[in-house]
Chains A and B, each alone.
Chain A
Amino acid sequence: MSTIIFGILLVLVFVFVLMYNGLVTMRNRVKNAWAQIDVQLKRRYNLIPNLVETVKGYATHEKTVFENVTKARSAAINASGVGDQAQAENMLSGALKSLFAVSENYPQLKASQNFMMLQEELAGTENKIAYSRQFYNDSVMLFNTKIQHIPYNIIANLFGFKEENLFEISIAAEKETPKVKF
């Protein structure tokens, strides 16, 4: 009799360990997904000085545009908190937009291999930022769903697994589909 009880207990402990470890893995996946967004954002910051230098070589008279981009970049780097970060990113996107608008006036710049490469690189990185945010949200959704399900919710409550926040675009401008004009 006692062997049976012992056996059942052993199975229960085993199941518990499996479930607990599963939750830890998922939570780490969410954290990693968040870190991936930062990786892409940093890549974008690193590209900007190169871009500014390249444009400077052709368009010497657009000082204010350069200053705006540089200012917005450092603001975005130094921003703390999700809200501030989003706002700074938005400003940076705006500044970059005007930089590209200005470069339209310089055919030599537009034809330069270096500029085209940087433009492609930046567009690629911006896509990656969007995709890494999407992946973060996917991971969060899986994690949140799991810790709400029975019996995971019991373990989650006991051991402090909390729901993670989804990344939401809080700025109205970013919600709209960008319209590209040629």
Chain B
Amino acid sequence: MEHVNIYDQISSNKRLSYLLFVVFFIISFILAFIISEFFGGGYAGTTIILILAVIWMLFSYYLGDKAILALNHAQEVKKEQYPHLYHTVEGLSIAAGVPMPRVYVINDPAPNAFATGRDPKHSSVAVTKGLMDRLKRIELEGVLAHELSHIKNYDIRYMTLVMVMIGLIGILSSTIFRMLFYGRGRHNKSGGALILVGILFAIIAPIIARIIRLAISRKREYMADASAALITRYPQGLADALKKIEASHVPMVKANPDTAPLYIANPFAGKKELFSNLFSTHPPIKERIKILEAM
């Protein structure tokens, strides 16, 4: 039964979120330990790093959605500004049985959308202007129903935590790595540190990659597509919307690359060469359309 799967998905997402906190804490601990060992920070160094890690965890949980919305230049809108969009979200939340999320608009001509938040009561949906311009009401309903399914399934909690919490480690390690790599000639002392960072990177990178891949698993997207069809009772609407999104070929300007997996479709589809590694995990749109049309 479909409903059983949704409840499975909810508890799985909550479990994964807890697991994420644990993994993050362990990674921070290893980092703190190694750094203190090498630079002689002692217990104080370790403690400071661990406190910072806990603060970052709290920040990710309570303010991660706001950070992601700001990074993607999304602006909250009122009913009066976009009555059509607002009504559609309102109607679909009634059908999905979730509280009304906050509505955000991204001033970007490329059609795309994402949802974020920590639970259905604290959730937001963001759509681009391009999406509203290109889609008919019934297609827009399909896309928004997909996003509301992410909210209802608690996908938003897990995905937001991954993007904010793990994203930081990814960014930090790659930044340090790059800094050391390019700054090799100038600092002779960095030899030891380079090895250290190399080791850290070797330990952490596969874990992070695995977590991110889990977050954007195809199952999650297919599941949200199926739930969207159940909410609107019209799978063709979302299928047509995905076709238009695929055909647009306009890469997003305002999207933040590190949060790209949150979007319903790859926001940088036009620039494949640059980002192919990172986004190959986005489920193929053609496959999704095929499944929706067979419903």
Contacts and interface: CB of A to CB of B under 8 A. Distances in A.
Interface of A: 33, 36, 40, 117, 120-121, 123-125, 127-128, 130-132, 134-135, 138-139, 142
Nearest to B90: A128
Interface string B82-112: 0110111011101111000000000000000
Contacts of A36: 94
A180 B3 CA distance: 34
Contact of B83 (A33, A40, A120, A127): A120
A128 B84 contact: no
Nearest to B84: A120
B233 interface: yes
Interface of B is mostly: helix
Interface of B: 3, 83-84, 86-88, 90-92, 94-97, 233
Contacts of B97: 33, 135, 138-139
Nearest to B1: A145
A142 B3 contact: yes
Contacts of A120: 83-84, 87
Contacts of B3: 142
Contacts of A135: 94-97
Contacts of B88: 124, 127
A166 B233 CA distance: 17
11 contacts: A124-B84, A124-B88, A127-B87, A127-B88, A128-B87, A130-B91, A131-B94, A134-B95, A134-B233, A135-B95, A138-B97
Interface of A is mostly: helix
B95 A117 contact: no
A124 B83 contact: yes
Contacts of B92: 131
B83 A121 contact: yes
Given A134-B233, A135-B97, A128 B83 contact: no
A130 B141 CA distance: 14
Contacts of B84: 120, 124
Nearest to A33: B97
Contacts of A130: 91
Given A124-B90, A142-B3, A131 B95 contact: yes
A132 B90 contact: no
Contacts of A125: 87
A135 B230 CA distance: 11
Contacts of A40: 94
A4 B62 CA distance: 47
A138 B94 CA distance: 12
A78 B86 CA distance: 30
Contacts of B87: 120-121, 123-125, 127-128
B83 A132 contact: no
Question: 7 closest A-B pairs (Cβ-Cβ)?
Answer: A124-B87, A131-B95, A127-B91, A128-B91, A131-B94, A131-B91, A120-B83
Nearest to A125: B87
B139 to A, nearest CB: 15
Contacts of B86: 124
Nearest to A37: B94
Given A124-B83, A125-B87, A138-B97, 10 more contacts: A124-B86, A127-B87, A127-B88, A128-B87, A130-B91, A131-B92, A131-B94, A134-B95, A135-B94, A135-B95
